Amino acid sequence: MVSARFSDQLVALLPRLRRFARGLSGSAAEADDLVQAACERALAREHQFQEGTRFDSWMFRIVQTIWIDQIRARDVRKEEGEIAEERQGSDEPVRRVEARLALAEVRRAVEHLPPDQRATLMLVTVDGLSYKEAAEVAQVPVGTIMSRLARARAALQLQLGAGAGLRGSAKDAEAH
């Protein structure tokens, strides 16, 4: 029996979970599937949530774990190639319009980041988690979070072409 309080917390968190999942998957439909799977898993494992700890971090970890499981289960290279082809083929008119929008460009740039950097960027930069909290979600050391963030931001800087002063540092970051 799921407690009403637990469900209420979960419902309240849905917009942020959807945003996080959107950043990970790059697709609205896939993101919602991911969130739905995470909700189902959370309800099944309600007893594992420790009161007094952050509920949002716990849910982000579930979303990220499911997402990682999914991309590991695929033949990643093949899958990404297929997805890219499908998108270009079916959504070309929409894509052309979107290409004019700076924010769509940003989302595409985020999609091109490696999965671990993308997840870290979403947790810290978009969702405002501290490095320590993000490290707990990703189950890596804080130093790794810092490193992933620096690489992600440097890569975005290069792709988006913003902030000339960063270009040097972006190259340096890539080299590490």
Partner 1 sequence: MQKRIDDTLIAYLDGELDADERRLVEEWLQSDPAAQERMAGLAATASLVRSAYDDVLNEPVPERLIAAARGATAGGAEIVPFKAKAKPGIGVARRWLGLPAAAALAGLLVGGGAGYYGGGFLGGSPQKAIETVADNNWLDNAAGDYKLLVSAGDTAMIDVPATGDTREALQKISQTLPQVRLPNLKPWGLNFHGARLVVLQGRPAAQLVYTTDNKAIGPLGLIIGSSKQPDLQPTFGRRQDVNLLYWRHQGRSYVLAGQTDIGYLWGIANDVAWQLDAI
By CB under 8 A, name the binding residues for partner 1.
2, 4, 7-12, 14-16, 18-19, 22-23, 29, 32, 35-36, 39-40, 43, 56, 102-104, 106-107, 110, 121-122, 124-128, 130-131, 146-147, 149-150, 153-154, 156-157, 160, 162-166, 168-169, 172-173, 176
Smaller CB distance to partner 1: residue 51 or 75?
Answer: 51
- Write the DSSP string, 145-163: HHHHHHHHHHHHHHHHT--
Smaller CB distance to partner 1: residue 2 or 84?
Answer: 2
Smallest gap from residue 11 Cβ to partner 1 (A): 4
Smaller CB distance to partner 1: residue 64 or 157?
Answer: 157
Q: Is residue 24 within 8 Å of residue 63, measured between CB atoms?
A: yes
Smallest gap from residue 90 Cβ to partner 1 (A): 18
Smaller CB distance to partner 1: residue 81 or 145?
Answer: 145
Residues 6+ apart with CB under 8 A from 135: 141, 142, 144, 145
Smallest gap from residue 95 Cβ to partner 1 (A): 16
The position carrying tokens 């952050």 is: 54
Smallest gap from residue 110 Cβ to partner 1 (A): 7
Burial class (CB in 10 A: 0-12, 13-18, 19+), 21: buried
Percentages helix, strand, coil for the chain (3-state, rounded to 5) are: 80, 0, 20
